Amino acid sequence: MTVPLDPVDVVVAGRDRPSVTTLRLPAFARHRRAEFALGPLTLFAGPSGSGKSSALRAYEALARLGGGAALDEVFPCPGACVPERARPDAQRRRGFRIGCTVDGPAGAVRLDLAVQAEPELRIVGERLTTGGVTLLETALRDPSRPAVQAAWYTAGSSPVTRAPLPDDRLGTALLPLRVAGRTDGERQVLAAAEQMVIALRSVFACDPVPRHMRAAVPLGAGRLLRGCDNLAEVLWRTRSECGRRHGQLVAAVREGCAGRVVDVLAERVSGEGAGAGAGKGLEAGIGVAAGMGMAAGVGMAQAVRAVLDRGDGLRTPLGLLGDGELRYLGLALVLLTGPGVLEVDTVGEVPEALQTLTVLADGFDRDLDARQREQLVRLAARMCERGHIRLVGAVSDASRASGVGGVTVVDLEP
């Protein structure tokens, strides 16, 4: 099976690709009046409790809302997003505010969102602007109705069009379905909304879980999950689909894993003759498959496990590697692959050449030693420089990134 040339092999000018360049947290969790400039590779650094994870959580929330997810799916525990010292108003309402700016062909487009978390979860205000022009504005007029009143720019005989929108969805993501595009103003609204949605939807949140990566897993769609649980299955696919990309992965793993590494691959396993620990791995792998919606009766002959080829016939199952090596391997695979392999909701109607995949990596340096941290940052910088990928990560220590070009470090105080 062959695949089209992957974006990893192409350097494309980033100016034509919509990208989130600013993340705003006016009132979210521990953040107050915070605004962060985001480059192609941005690392939030600081001790525990400084707000690194909450910044990434806000970014992912905007991404999911941009993809059309309902508010209660995105914020299952909305109270955790409300600033600690936020006091309820006379109606006992409390909430939070987040936003971002996306640069692209339509210029700098700004989105600001106000969410009521208590006593019930709902969007109470949204504003989409560019160049000083308000393209969309919504407000909660009647608390008894599950809707907000929206007004979007037309620049026609009537300056705006008014209509209700649901209070549990991002209005910007709904505009392409509601705006006809008959006037110059409406076309400007559509261009800005589509730019925002493209940038937000092209996000892959990744946090490898070593204990899950050790298991053998059944073969399936071959799309990498956020915890890298099915890393073996993805290696089975990618090794044969793109030799150049796989060679880059092997070179990266060689720099970050102890001992000699000739290859990184997946091999079939069965109940017998699979080696030490394979039985437990297979059993766990089938459990992972069930959680992914696969049939529970997957045959053992269809299961695969990942191994490091040490040469001279010696292969080390990933189940024997340390947590740091596994997280390093999973993150390297994410950086060296593309949206066709990652479990990400890309914008199918827009060519990949006009999209930039953004990886959100919480705990980017978790469990890694100094050498692994430096190698992974250098790999990320190299891939981000090519223009097809951006990365926003959280690290406890950014010292290894200080000497690497192209890295934006955001230092947070506890």
**Band of residue 403 on the pLDDT scale cut at 50, 70, 90:** confident
CA 297 to chain centre: 32
Percent over 90 (pLDDT), the chain: 67
pLDDT above 70 covers what percent of the chain?
86
Q: How far apart are CA 238 and CA 235, in angstroms?
A: 5
Q: How confident is the model at residue 354 (pLDDT cuts 50, 70, 90)?
A: low
Least confidently predicted of 34-38, 74-78, 278-282: 278-282
Q: Give the mean pLDDT of 105-127.
A: 96
Neighbours of 151 (CB within 10 A): 16
| Cβ-contact 265, 307 below 8 angstroms | yes
Is 276 a residue whose pLDDT tops 60? no
pLDDT at position 2 is 34
Top mean-pLDDT range of 181-185, 298-302, 306-310: 306-310
- Dihedral sign from CA coordinates of 248, 253, 255, 259: negative
Entry pTM:
0.87
Confidence of residue 6 (pLDDT cuts 50, 70, 90): very low
Structure confidence at residue 175 as a pLDDT band (50, 70, 90): very high
pLDDT at site 286:
38
Dump pLDDT digits (tens) for 370-393: 999 999 999 999 999 988 789 999
pLDDT of residue 329: 96
**CB environment 198-215: b (16+ within 10 A), e (fewer):** bbbbbbbbbbbbbebbbb
Span 216-225, mean pLDDT?
Answer: 89
Side-chain-side CA neighbours of residue 287 (13 Å) = 11
